[in-house]
Amino acid sequence: MHPAKSVIFFTTASGAGYGLLFLLIAGDLLGLAPGGFWPAFTGYAVSYALITGGLLSSTFHLGHPERAWRALTQWRSSWLSREGVMAVLTFLPTGLYALHQLFFPERMPGITGVIGVIGAICCIVTVYCTAMIYASLKPVHAWSNRFVPAGYLLLSLMTGALVLNALFALFGPPSPVFLILALLSLIAALVWKISYWRFLDGTKSLSTPESATGLGEFGRVKLFEAPHTEANYLMKEMGFQIARKHAMKLRRITLTLAFVLPLLLTLLALFVGGSLAAAALILALLNAAIGIVTERWLFFAEARHTVGLYYGAAHA
């Protein structure tokens, strides 16, 4: 599948944004977040910037961005529509909770707790909807499996935690609870990514050139002549293929930058204090940012679509 920049930015940025928003609210509800106005204010500001930036960028690849509101209408059947609806809805409880936490912290009636819990759940559901856009596409075997929603949720939590730690480090000593949370999510995400790649390398779509043409009973099916001399829309959009050698190199880059280095740097921050810890956490975030963008690029580039079977691909 063609890795479009706008979609890569959308899924990574909004994923981190919702992860951060979730942690801010959950942290405050459980009394784990460091006190003070500025850390929380910066946290909410960054999370909404990531979310809004991601959502805006996702409209860039549309043929008609001005009609984007129509995408909110078909939530009964479409995960993309559900994602849009949830993204809009999530602003309400999370925004209310952020206002309460920032500006009226002393008044804490039960209802704000409920709003906070709803907001935190909305964050999870929105990321789940994003993942299901991909996981519900049966023609893409690399996507339509249970690894995909789990991965989106884990990576959202992981990147959210890395942003949170880097931000809080600007205001004071890092909070051990969030450092440990980041470490745990990094380990979980690393294990998930390796299992996903293992799955991908050992599995094939049920669809083959034989089933695509129905000619299997006569023998092995190979493309003899494509319909056109030049690449068409389908081949550019769905026929994108990356050489195995390059994919392996990018997988190693992903493992190192997205998981291993942030893991070591966060571990370092747990044991050293002061500005060294802050520097380590910021470095961890920068590494992870490049690593996650590579991860997402590969998520598209390594995915094969059944339409390739009509254009010479041996498997999908």
Partner 1 sequence: MTSLPKNPPKKKLGLVIDLDICVGCHACAVNCKEWNTGGHSAPLTDSDPYGADPTGVWFNRIHSFEVENDQTGGRTVHFPKSCLHCDDAPCVTVCPTGASYKREEDGIVLVNADHCIGCKLCSWACPYGAREYDEDAGVMKKCTLCVDKIYNPNLPEESRVPACVSTCPVGARSFGDLGDPESDVSRLVAKRGGYDLMPEQDCKPTNKYLPPRPKRTGAEGGSAAARLTPVADSSAGVLARWVDKFLSA
Closer to partner 1 by Cβ: residue 195 or 232? 232
Residue 231 in contact with partner 1, rule: CB under 8 A: yes
Within 10 A of 29 (CB to CB), how many other CB atoms are there?
17
From the list 122-130, 171-179, 223-231, 258-266, the region that binds partner 1 by CB under 8 A is: 223-231
Site for partner 1 in 238-277 (CB under 8 A): 238
Residue 136 in contact with partner 1, rule: CB under 8 A: yes
Kindly write out the interface string for residues 194-213 of this chain, putting x where it contacts partner 1 by CB under 8 A and - elsewhere.
------------xx-x-xxx
Residue 225 in contact with partner 1, rule: CB under 8 A: yes
Name, in order, each residue with C-beta under 8 angstroms of 49's C-beta and a sequence gap of 6 or more.
Answer: 17
Phi first, then psi: what are they for 16, rounded to 5°? -65, -40
Name, in order, each residue with C-beta under 8 angstroms of 269's C-beta and a sequence gap of 6 or more.
Answer: 165, 169, 174, 179, 276, 277, 278, 280, 281, 284
Q: Give the CA count within 13 Å in the CB-facing half-sphere of 76.
A: 1
Amino acid at 30: L
Residue 1 in contact with partner 1, rule: CB under 8 A: yes
Among 106, 146, 201, 217, binds partner 1 (CB under 8 A): 217
Among 29, 32, 71, 118, binds partner 1 (CB under 8 A): 71
**DSSP SS3 for 158:** helix
Site for partner 1 in 115-134 (CB under 8 A): 133
Closer to partner 1 by Cβ: residue 140 or 183? 140
Q: Is 36 left (phi over 0), alpha (psi -120 to 50) or beta?
A: left
Q: How many residues bind partner 1 (CB under 8 A)?
A: 59
Alpha carbon distance 10, 18 (integer Å): 12
Q: Which residues bind partner 1 (CB under 8 A)?
A: 1, 61-65, 67-68, 70-74, 76-81, 84, 133, 136-140, 206-207, 209, 211-215, 217-234, 237-238, 305-307, 310-311
